[in-house]
Amino acid sequence: MENGTGSNDKRIVLCGANAYEQKYYFNEKFAAIPESIKEELHIICVLFTEEVGGIFTIVFEEDGSVSFETNAGEDDLLYDEIGSGLLVGEIRRNRQELLESLQLYYRVFILHDKSVLEEI
């Protein structure tokens, strides 16, 4: 599932959770990711939406970097925008190793970037 409205948008959603529909999504294009990491991503997404509400997605940028997106419906008065920003920062700090591993995975297996292997 590609994310974005323009045809130039090469971002790809890895996973996400929706507090409104109480659903979790994992992009099967990344089925080869180990189960333990899939479970960790599931927990991160669901706990995020339980804590601040709205919709939370983890996205691969075109260069392989990992981004977090969070948004809420216009009529959602319970969405915690400040808490959302704080929680994103906390996830980045506490899950840095996971995020770096995901970036490496994407660059090697999706982008087929052989220069990554030289960096290791």
Residue 88 placed within a domain? yes
Q: At what angle do helices 81-94 and 35-52 cross, to 10 degrees?
A: 160
Look over the chain and give the mean of its residue pLDDT values, rounded to a whole number: 90
Q: Which two tokens stand for residue 29?
A: 């294009």
**pLDDT tens-digit map of 39-82:** 999 999 999 999 999 999 999 999 999 999 999 999 998 899 99
How many separate domains does the chain show?
A: 1
Closest CA to 92 of 66, 62, 63, 55: 66
**pLDDT tens-digit map of 92-103:** 999 999 999 999
Residue 34 placed within a domain? yes
The pTM for the full model equals 0.87
Residue 1 placed within a domain? no
Residue 4 placed within a domain? no
Residue 68 placed within a domain? yes
Q: Which domain holds residue 74?
A: 12-119
- Amino acid found at 33: I
Residue 36 placed within a domain? yes
